[in-house]
Amino acid sequence: MIPVRGHEGQKLAVLGLGRSGLATARSLVAGGAEPVCWDDNASARDKAEAEGFTIRDLTRPGAFDDIASLIVSPGIPHLYPEPNRVIRAAYEAGVPVDNDIGLFFRSLAVAEWDDFDTAPRVVAVTGSNGKSTTSALIHHILEQAGREAQLAGNIGRGVLDIDPPGDGGVVVLELSSYQTDLARALTPDVAVFTNLSPDHLDRHAGMGGYFAAKRRLFAEGGPDRAVIGVDEVEGLYLANQLSEGPGDDRVIRVSAARKLSGPGWDVFARKGFLAEWRKGKQVAAIDLRPMQGLPGAHNHQNACAAYAACRTLGLAPRVIETGLASYPGLPHRSQTIAEAHGVRYVNDSKATNVDSAAKALAAFDKIRWICGGLEKEGGLDGLRASLGSVVKAYVIGREAAGFALQLPEVETEVCTTMESAVASAMRDAQPGEVVLLAPAAASFDQYDNFEKRGEDFAARVRAGLQG
């Protein structure tokens, strides 16, 4: 673990006792601080108490009288739609509020690094869609190249739960807007912005607040290198803000929508080919089309971002190409479950919003589309341009009928349950078609999370093929 530094002998409150909260409490103890813990869930409190941590009801008056700082888990609102009552009490008591990401960046570097030949580096990835795949892809490429690498943050292990990196080690962090919004320290060596589309708008009071939370990763600490997806205006703006001029190669612009040109450092994908250009000259090209773990333009954007980040870490293009080719894909993200009788079955349960579902639909032809769930704000209008490849939609969720009514352009079948949707899609599918789960909705009306939904889809497919 990473011992938390700078709080020796102090009491710090920890709010939220899930994975990150417990890891934070352990790291505080390892660094000589005393955590006092609280969670509204009694079973979470019992688990922390069984581990030896002090439990204190932080909702009571005077709870912060001897507290130096409050460390908050990422799922707890700290501003919009309104602050959690414990966080508000900390504000009113003048107690600084932080999260495990802020503690991580302040605690990572140690004196032993002076004896390393190469100091460890941190690559932090944020954005609306693709940040998990991009993070995992960077980590995979580094490991395939024989580099020490750890994956943490919003994916993999909690940031304080990882091992201290060794000589030349790389820590790859996936960071959500919840994590970047509150962290009091954000100092990655390389920062990556994939893209921006509407999501979590209630938590950030609109798109402006959402983008501002992402932008903090680049504005607070000033990374040595910034990899910026410029296919949306927010990315263009961010790249412009960070660059000192057209030839400033501290900023690497990335696109999966068009060829980029100019005297700077660009990585883009067109018609399935990744190209790296620097100072007006092409440096490398990679054919992404045969790479089954990276289907579609959205994954080609992820590949470009991962490629650019790995280039900043000194990897050669052919070494990166080998890593890209061997990447197996992440569960629930354009994950091929099976291929049988000429039909491919793809699990993209992580496509929980309209933009990510549209990108999944654009990756395949002749789609039997399983969709539906807890609809997000804004409706399905953003999917209209992506429905041309859909042969038929099979709609799940408690409000399946209402969801189906918003898809007049395609044939729909109201299935409600995953079991029914998979059975109908498998019955109808013809050779050359893809049965795709890309819900364009949250899972909470029927499942605990998108992972459970994807697992159910995969289990139904496998059962159907065996039967």
The per-residue DSSP string of 99-120 comes to -HHHHHHHHS--GGGGG-SS--
The structure's pTM equals 0.86
Give the separation between CA 369 and CA 358, rounded to whole angstroms.
11
pLDDT score of 377: 75
pLDDT score of 379: 83
Q: Is 131 annotated as a binding residue?
A: yes
Give the type of residue at 119: A
The answer to whether the beta carbons of residues 148 and 165 sit under 8 Å apart is yes
Q: Is 240 annotated as a binding residue?
A: no
- Residue 388: both structure tokens together: 């041309």
Domains by residue range for the chain, with CATH: 11-98 (3.40.50.720), 107-325 (3.40.1190.10), 335-466 (3.90.190.20)
Q: How far is CA 384 from CA 55, 203, 402, 416, in A?
A: 51, 26, 16, 22
Q: Is 43 annotated as a binding residue?
A: no
| C-alpha dihedral (321, 326, 331, 337), degrees to nearest 10 | 120
Residue ranges for the chain with pLDDT beneath 50: none
Q: Is 356 annotated as a binding residue?
A: no
Give the separation between CA 182 and CA 91, rounded to whole angstroms.
13
Which residues, other chains included, contact 83 with Cβ-Cβ below 8 Å and sequence gap of 6+? Answer: 77, 91
Place of tokens 């495990």: 100
Give the separation between CA 403 and CA 274, rounded to whole angstroms.
37
Give the separation between CA 166 and CA 315, rounded to whole angstroms.
18
Q: Is 127 annotated as a binding residue?
A: yes
